[in-house]
Structure 1
Amino acid sequence: MEHAESGTAHGLKERAIEELKIYWIITLYLWVLLGLFTVYRRLVEAETGVIYLHYGIALIEALVIAKVVLIGKLFGFSRRFEDRALIVPVIYKSVLFGLLVMLFGVLEHLIAGWIHKQGLLGGLQEIASIGRDELVARTLMLVVAFVPFFSFCELGRVLGMKQLTAMFLSNPKAWPLREDASAHKR
């Protein structure tokens, strides 16, 4: 009996470690992406006064967005269309999570208004100050940025994440699919 409980605890620990690795991979991807948006904005608008704090804010946003992605995956509604051609779940997940992030952003502003004793109206005013166009632009940019991310995830789901990782990080001659690919070329 102790062995079974020990195995369950060990399995939970391994799963928690795996989830934490996934969380940090998502965070790193999003931090680079959001940091690039900050650089882009700085260069296009020739802003003065963009300080390193904005890059830290990009990290915080990446942490929050990564958590939204993991929560969405936990609830399982992102699994829809996984039985179709890979482009379908990739586009579905990109749009779904882009909209979820936008929704969480709106919710975040509403809660911040409530916490700062401005009420929900204060949160709505803060959202209005950002502007509808900027909110839509941020959402669209995130949806597009999610496409390569979810493409990689879907390939990992189909091929196995270890095999996909090996394909990205090892010599092509060591790829398990290498023989099959060369047979198709003949």
Structure 2
Amino acid sequence: MGESVPLPQRRHLKQRVSDELKRFLVIFLYLWVVFGLLSIHKSIILAEQHLDYPEHAFAIINAFIFAKVLLLGEHFSLGTRFKDWPLIYPILHKCFIFTVVLICFHIVESILVGVWHGRTIAESFPPILGGSLKGLLSVGVMCFVVLLPFFGFREIGRVFGRKELWALIFVHRGNEPKLS
């Protein structure tokens, strides 16, 4: 017969799963808002050119996939090189590392989907990158800037504590004395 897992260990596992699910949900929601805004912007520009492009469904799908990529990257400790330095260094370093990871993942994902649908690798290269170094750099800069507040809050939460940061941002503090 199989051994049963002791009750304290099961609670610990349930708590870890719950914590990971919450982390995933926060990442997903952040990315969904960002990708949704980018999709709205893209659809407005394309509508001005009388082109129809169903981009909004991809915002949800990409947010889900990229949230998982970010969680896996954090699980494998990507971008932790400067974790004991002043916060600006780990924030900028993580933004850079995860920008590269997300762009590489997006390229591989686009190529695999294209090849699956019978296109060549060249035909499957993501059009958002513009097929040029300039397109790649512009997407890289946008991705980097989008990740700044995300990793800024994550790093501040790491230093001060996630619960403390959450309470500082979302809990009403009442009538606190002013410092000035």
Aligned identity (percent) is 30
Which string of whole-angstrom CA distances, capped at 9 and with x for unpartnered residues, describes residues 92-141 of structure 1?
111111110011111112322443354xxx12322175523433322221
Report the counterpart of residue 147 of structure 1 in structure 2. Answer: 148
**Native 8 Å contact 1:38 1:54 kept in 2:** yes
Report the counterpart of residue 115 of structure 1 in structure 2. Answer: 116
Paired residues in the alignment total 174
Report the counterpart of residue 93 of structure 1 in structure 2. Answer: 94
Report the counterpart of residue 69 of structure 1 in structure 2. Answer: 70
Report the counterpart of residue 173 of structure 2 in structure 1. Answer: 172
Q: Which structure carries more helix by proportion? A: 1
Q: What is the TM-score normalised by the length of structure 1?
A: 0.81
Runs of at least 5 residues in structure 1 that lack an aligned partner in the other structure: none
Report the counterpart of residue 103 of structure 1 in structure 2. Answer: 104
Report the counterpart of residue 21 of structure 2 in structure 1. Answer: 20
Please report how far the alpha carbon of residue 164 of structure 1 lies from its aligned counterpart in structure 2 after TM superposition: 0.5
Distance (Å, rounded) in 2 between the aligned partners of 1:137 and 1:5: 52
Q: What is the TM-score normalised by the length of structure 2?
A: 0.84
Runs of at least 5 residues in structure 2 that lack an aligned partner in the other structure: none
Letter paired with 2:84? D
Match for residue 126 of structure 1 among 124, 127, 142: 124
**Native 8 Å contact 1:109 1:124 kept in 2:** no
Distance (Å, rounded) in 2 between the aligned partners of 1:13 and 1:90: 30
SS of equivalent residue, structure 2 residue 55: helix
Alpha-carbon RMSD = 2.5
Which string of whole-angstrom CA distances, capped at 9 and with x for unpartnered residues, describes residues 120-170 of structure 1?
xx1232217552343332222111000001000011101111110011111
**Native 8 Å contact 1:98 1:142 kept in 2:** yes
Change (3 A) 1:9 1:123: farther
**Native 8 Å contact 1:31 1:62 kept in 2:** yes
